[in-house]
Chains A and B, each alone.
Chain A
């Protein structure tokens, strides 16, 4: 699956897509493949603050429970309600329909420091070698 060029990525395998002051956050295709079949997603409440590098939710698969880290500071504006009933969306369409939360970005410029699609692809290629 291709990593969209307009997204930014973290080494913890989250993606974020900026539209104005809003950042949409999800986990990458690489992350969903590592996790295996996702069975449950725990997301924060609308209005909660999220902090760059800190966990804001969890994704549970048949193999493991993993924390999801915020790629940037902000406030939760919207959560993807569909995931509660259909966690498998994360396996099927991690970069589009299975977005997790949308946040009001505190400092949109923060995103510039994150990985580009090309940098992220290189990062996971190196990770796989170990």
Chain B
């Protein structure tokens, strides 16, 4: 079958920079020493005259090396990136333009408050908008990413329960959750108890009723969940947790399905984090950095990390450190400020109607793919999804082709693979999240590619199982790499 490639990338190979090294080449020139030379003899055996095997290359060689490597990147700017659960949406250039304004880009967190009013206002305004979007009461922008936000939220829950004089030891986590949820609970010192999904792929209320005891501090729930399904019983879940003295934490990873349409604060969530690098279009992965604001109901406000940005009667903004019940500081200074600028630019550029449209388009795109691939791949939970859809490789397994093989074959068609083998509740999962950024033509191309691969799996399975074929390197030996990792270059 002829391949229609959605994109082309360079196929030339590139040696390691160590292999370009030749003795004596330099990429720098230092000015003459204008201070007395230090006497290093006191270092004794610790002293080194040269760094062994450091590459010696010219400036232009360094530039060419890294420029060539950069052309191998696959990102949102090169093509569709349907990595489920990651919301790899377009990072609008207006965000970058605003973030590069001199006063913002050159600002320093140690500037006096009177010189930082603009930066503080950005954080204050973003906080207000995020509270409006989530329906929560108070927020911290500090956490550096989603899992850091989870940690912040769980520590606040612990602080609140301690203040109530309650020692609860367990955190409930559905079997469809992101791995960071149980990791967070465990790191915070809680025992993790798994919660089963029912046949519809959502929380099993009977199982929740059974395990929700007075030893449970919180339920960590993702809504919509990782199957892309909305937890329709969310009110009953929240009531059950609250009746028995627990708190409801929501992982906001999938907030791209809700913004402007539903507010977690309205359906009973007590604490939640947002991922600005998912839902609010700041760069995700690679450069990042992330930002994971945590929004809470008023009962938890006293425990927010310090500082909290507050407005005085005169409208001046200040960083408030005098909060005796705070869980402390979670991040140096104010968090990843550059991301706040971008997220605010995104929210303001879209406006209320734009954000709503974004959510609707994201859900529409996922459902377009769900219907477009119907019949070609098995759909374990066959009902309308939210912002992502999860297929399984069940049909292809009959030919020995697995989700990982299909993902690698997708690379030959010029697309970034979907999320492979997650969520764990679906065997051979293929989790696809197109986001609102994909246009219809692109979705059609993607569907055609996956349909072509499904046909290949039947007629020439070996071709799929040995993919990718058009990349510089084909199948890597993942097993040897994991069993005997080589962690540094050697001559």
Chain A residues engaging chain B, CB cutoff 8 angstroms: 37, 39-40, 60, 62-64, 87-88
**Minimum CB–CB distance for A83 against chain B, Å:** 12
B479 touches A64 (CB 8 A): no
Size of the chain B interface, CB-CB below 8 angstroms: 6
B482 touches A62 (CB 8 A): yes
- Nearest A residue to B483, CB-CB: A39
B482 touches A39 (CB 8 A): yes
Complex Cα spacing A37 to B482, Å: 10
* A37 / chain B contacts, CB cutoff of 8 Å: 478-479, 482
* A63 / chain B contacts, CB cutoff of 8 Å: 421
B479 touches A39 (CB 8 A): yes
**Minimum CB–CB distance for A63 against chain B, Å:** 6
* A60 / chain B contacts, CB cutoff of 8 Å: 482
- Nearest B residue to A66, CB-CB: B424
Which label, helix, strand, loop or mixed, suits the secondary structure of the A interface? loop
- Nearest B residue to A85, CB-CB: B483
Contact check: which of B424, B478, B482, B483 meets A64 at CB < 8 Å? B424
* Interface 0/1 of B457-480, CB less than 8 Å to A: 000000000000000000000110
A40 touches B482 (CB 8 A): yes
5 contacts between A and B (CB under 8 A): A39-B483, A62-B482, A63-B421, A64-B421, A64-B424
Interface residues of B in 396-425 (CB under 8 A from A): 421, 424
Complex Cα spacing A129 to B34, Å: 78
A87 touches B421 (CB 8 A): no
A62 touches B478 (CB 8 A): yes
Complex Cα spacing A63 to B483, Å: 13
Complex Cα spacing A37 to B404, Å: 14
Q: Across the A-B interface, how many residue pairs have beta carbons closer than 8 Å?
A: 17
Which label, helix, strand, loop or mixed, suits the secondary structure of the B interface? helix
**Minimum CB–CB distance for A16 against chain B, Å:** 22
* A64 / chain B contacts, CB cutoff of 8 Å: 421, 424
* A88 / chain B contacts, CB cutoff of 8 Å: 483
* A87 / chain B contacts, CB cutoff of 8 Å: 483
- Nearest B residue to A128, CB-CB: B427
Complex Cα spacing A64 to B403, Å: 14
* B424 / chain A contacts, CB cutoff of 8 Å: 64
Complex Cα spacing A87 to B483, Å: 8
* Interface 0/1 of B431-457, CB less than 8 Å to A: 000000000000000000000000000
- Nearest A residue to B404, CB-CB: A63
| Interchain residue pairs A-B with the least CB separation, the first 6 | A39-B482, A37-B479, A62-B478, A39-B483, A62-B479, A62-B482
- Nearest B residue to A34, CB-CB: B427
**Minimum CB–CB distance for A40 against chain B, Å:** 7
- Nearest A residue to B424, CB-CB: A64
* Other contacts beyond A37-B478, A37-B482: 10, CB < 8 A: A39-B482, A39-B483, A40-B483, A60-B482, A62-B478, A62-B479, A62-B482, A63-B421, A64-B421, A88-B483
Complex Cα spacing A40 to B482, Å: 8
Complex Cα spacing A80 to B333, Å: 48
Complex Cα spacing A87 to B235, Å: 46
* B421 / chain A contacts, CB cutoff of 8 Å: 63-64
**Minimum CB–CB distance for A52 against chain B, Å:** 15
Complex Cα spacing A37 to B479, Å: 7
**Minimum CB–CB distance for B85 against chain A, Å:** 16
**Minimum CB–CB distance for B254 against chain A, Å:** 22
Complex Cα spacing A129 to B478, Å: 30
- Nearest A residue to B179, CB-CB: A65
**Minimum CB–CB distance for B465 against chain A, Å:** 14
**Minimum CB–CB distance for B195 against chain A, Å:** 16
* B483 / chain A contacts, CB cutoff of 8 Å: 39-40, 87-88
Complex Cα spacing A63 to B482, Å: 11
**Minimum CB–CB distance for B405 against chain A, Å:** 13
Complex Cα spacing A60 to B421, Å: 15
